[in-house]
Structure 1
Amino acid sequence: MSTEPRVAPRVAVIGLGWLGEPLAKALQALGWRVAGTTTTEAKAERLRSEGINALVWDINEPLPSAWPVGLAADTLVLCVPPGKVDDYAETLERVAALAAKAGVSRLLFTSATSVYGGLGSKTEADAGPDSARGERMLSAEQAVRHSGIPLVLCLRLSGLVGGNREPGRFLAGRSFEGGNEPVNLVAQEDLLRFIPAIMARHDWPEVLNASAPHHPSRREFYTRAAQLRDLPPPQFDGGGEGKRIDGSALSRWLNLDYRVTDWFAWLAARKAQD
């Protein structure tokens, strides 16, 4: 029997924000050596005090010639939304290429279901953007695949809720079209179960969707969400068939069910926790 100590796996999370920070802490609790990036020294200091090797790094600034030593890792998680990065696809490809040269062997990219256009049910094979945001996200997926990292998984996230993202405030008191369109959402608490389970495996597929199986209409969901927060409900017209994102392949692959299977029950439970 070997007496050599077990070497903890290493992960670097680029973007310790709404998802990246709690993910880093979840992985740390599972025994991972975690490093990551933020854009302010105050936040970096706080995270370092909590055992996460946080570096201040704004990837909108000129990139270094080599991967930062403090981010040495086997697995890289790119967790940066497009609205915070200039030249999104090109920048992410350059970041991932630096990581590849430093020996990073796996990349999990948190993409988005905006890569799906049209109407009806959408599975992983149905990418075809009909918006500028979707085109940008699909270009970013293609770019990180060309970075030189051997194993890349693009995890396409539906609308993000939970944590400090309170859906009752998203649309309150405003007017919108498409009231009959289904919502496609995934809760932070489910992502913090799914992503560590993904990280524990090495037989990654190229693409997976993360989207809860309940798809009420936008009118039903956002009206109820606003009411529970004592906010004026949004107003919708009656149109819109919309698209429905199928996130079941992720659940089957991991043999792990979504906890959020009823968005109205989830909204009520959050309200009860206040």
Structure 2
Amino acid sequence: MKPSISILGCGWLGIPLSTTLLKAGYPVKGSTTSPAKLKELTKLGLHPYVIDLHNRKDRNHFLNADILIIAVPHKNIDNFKFLRTQIKNSQINRLIFISSTSVYPNTNGEVTEKSQTLPTPLANIESIFSNISGIQTTIIRFAGLFGGDRKPGLFFRDDSLIKNPDGFINLIHLDDCIQIIKTLIEKNIWNQVFNACADTHPSRREYYTQEMQKEGRKPPVFDNTKASEYKIVSNDKLKKHLNYQFKHPDLTHFIEPK
């Protein structure tokens, strides 16, 4: 029997992830902060729950699962500490925390999982979940997210001045986000930290000019007054440990699946 999974945060990533896991035979619970979305989650086949981390109610039923995936853009450290206590007292024994490569500073070079992180709330939240006794935790640091209704050619307004034009792009498509999480679960890869980012890193100038043209928009305006700062996120560890090949490795020649 496949392990049961609870997904905290059924939004842009959580909803398609949950449907993928359901199709693969996993029992899945999903949370939303909006009662109006309960019917939508039910229709998808999920066992839905309304959970707002600001509201510290009992979450025993939701946490009655083998694996918890935390996929919420929430930065309140105290609320996460309370959630950690609830997890410790629950059935959960494996945990995936969705983080971001924004924890790394711009180094004007490559960053790996061993690189120093910034003292940000997100980095602190990672540490809250990385050392829970009796629970195996894997942290995935996703690069910038795109896919579906998140189109890079729409990331900026017409009047935006795009900084760091000669820096480099770090992005990952929704399809790869989902497949990476599914692969981690299937292969039982725990107690790890992984960067998840497409293989290619075109310049911001090249990439956003191309993507805005795809959307029929006028060319972007870049800030050329300062030297560009950037980082290039390495995905080598993830590809090696998971034996993973990206569905969308090449950002320059990407075409959105239909």
Q: TM-score, normalised by structure 2?
A: 0.92
1:257 aligns to 2:245 (yes or no): yes
Q: Is the 8 A contact 1:171 1:222 kept in 2?
A: no
Moved more, 155-164 or 196-205: 196-205
The correspondence for 1:54, drawn from 48, 53, 71, is: 48
Q: 1:205 to 1:146 in 2, by over 3 A?
A: closer
Distance 1:50 1:250 in 2: 30
CA contact (8 A) 1:93 1:146 kept: no
Deviation at 1:94, TM superposition (A): 1.8
Q: Which consecutive unaligned segments of at least 5 residues does structure 1 have? A: 1-6
Report the counterpart of residue 37 of structure 1 in structure 2: 31
Q: CA deviation at 1:147?
A: 4.1
Secondary structure at 1:200 match in 2: helix
Calculate percent identity across the aligned residue pairs: 30
SS where residue 242 of structure 1 aligns? Answer: coil
Q: Secondary structure at the match of 1:96?
A: helix
Aligned to 2:81: 93
Deviation at 1:222, TM superposition (A): 1.0
Q: Alpha carbon RMSD of aligned pairs, Å?
A: 1.7
TM-score, normalised with respect to structure 1:
0.87
**Contact 1:177 1:236 (C-alpha < 8 Å) held by counterparts:** yes
Q: Select 1:135's aligned residue among 110, 114, 120.
A: 120
The answer on whether the counterparts of 1:182 and 1:243 sit within 8 Å (CA) in structure 2 is yes
State how 1:140-155 maps to structure 2 within 5 Å: 140-148=125-133, 150-155=135-140
Instruction: Name the counterpart of 2:60.
Output: 68
Instruction: Give the one of 74, 90, 111 matched to 1:102.
Output: 90
Quote how far apart the aligned CAs of 1:164 are.
Answer: 1.2
The yes-or-no answer on 1:80 pairing with 2:72 is yes
- Contact (CA 8 Å) 2:106, 2:229: kept in 1 or not? no
Matched, 1:125 2:111: no
- More helix per residue: 1 or 2? 1
Determine if contact 1:184/1:211 at 8 Å carries over to the other structure.
yes
Match of 1:159 among 136, 139, 144: 144
The CA deviation string for residues 198-245 of structure 1, in whole angstroms up to 9 with x for no partner, is: 011224242100011100011111111111001123211343141100
How far apart are the structure 1 equivalents of 2:53 and 2:229?
38
Residue 121 and residue 39 in structure 1: after superposition, are their counterparts in 2 closer, same or farther (change >3 A)?
same
